[in-house]
Amino acid sequence: EGQLLESGGGWEQPGGSLRLSCSASGFIFSSYAMSWVRQAPGRGLEWVSTINEYDETYYADSVKGRFTISRDNSRNTLYLQMNIVRAEDAAIYFCAKKLPYITLDVWGPGTTVTVSS
Amino acid sequence: DIQMTQSPSSLSASVGDRVTITCRASQDIYSSLAWYQQKPGKAPKLLIYASSRLESGVPSRFSGSGSETDYTLTISSLQPEDIATYYCQYYSRTILSFGGGSKVEIK
């Protein structure tokens, strides 16, 4: 089934940049699409981005043009480069593994991003 | 974009009660519907996918049904460990869309 562990969260001021990482183990990382999902404090879940096994990428409108998802299959690691961050980007960011033709079955514990001046 | 609307946003029920949560899609999603359980401070856990298929290891008191635009999650006999927020989710090859969540509490 596998395990995921996010890192890279922290504090950033509006307009700044952060890079999140997600380390995968226990499954063939290169064979699966991977996604980022976030949850603002006290709010619901919001899909952020997905990258498939062919490196095709998809983004929510709220982050398109500011965030970039990527993967390094040699390191079994997923990334989310967050540029021009806004206060509304503050959230717990989860990475998750996506089953073919289905949905997210394995999630990491999340990493917290705080954006304030 | 496909919007997912859940109801109720919260509910209170007694142990042993049957609990039902509904989810409506803004257009036909052809049963590409999953349900997640999230407990405070934890990542979401997949319960059901393809509208009615139970994820391995999930107790049989959880069930899902529905088609086209209307879907339902049922807990047949609420247990104390079921206290959580439940989310429906539309999934496709390219995008995902979550409902707003339904918080389940014990009366």
* Residue A93, phi then psi, degrees to nearest 5: -105, 125
Q: What pLDDT, on a 0 to 100 scale, did the predictor assign at position A1?
A: 84
Q: Do B46 and A104 touch (CB under 8 A)?
A: yes
**Helix locations, chain A, DSSP H:** none
Nearest 5 degrees, angle CA A73-CA A10-CA B40?
Answer: 90
Q: Would you call A104 an interface residue with chain B, using a CB distance cutoff of 8 Å?
A: yes
**pLDDT-derived band at B54, boundaries 50, 70, 90:** very high
Residue B15, min C-alpha distance to chain A (Å): 25
CB contacts of B34 in chain A (<8 Å) are 102-104
Say if the Cβ atoms of B93 and A101 lie within 8 Å: yes
Q: Which of B89, B100, B101 sits opposite A103 (nearest CB)?
A: B89
- C-beta atoms of B98 and A108 within 8 A: no
* Mean local confidence (pLDDT), B88-100: 96
Residues A11-69 have pLDDT tens digits of: 999 999 999 999 999 999 999 999 999 999 999 999 999 999 999 999 999 999 999 99
C-alpha to C-alpha distances, A12 to A6, A9, A19, A49, B21, nearest whole angstrom: 17, 9, 11, 20, 38
Cα A19-A113-A6 angle, rounded to 5 deg: 60
How many angstroms separate the most distant Cα atoms in chain A?
Answer: 41
Least Cα distance to A12 among A90, A93, A92 occurs for A90
pLDDT in tens, B79-88: 999 999 999 9
Give the CA distances from residue A10 to residues A13, A63, A110, A111, A113, in Å, rounded to whole numbers and listed in that order.
Answer: 10, 18, 12, 8, 5
Chain B neighbors of A44, CB-CB under 8 A: 87, 98-101
CA–CA gap between residue A51 and residue A37 (Å, rounded) = 12
Which residues of chain B have a CB within 8 Å of the CB of A105?
Answer: 46, 55
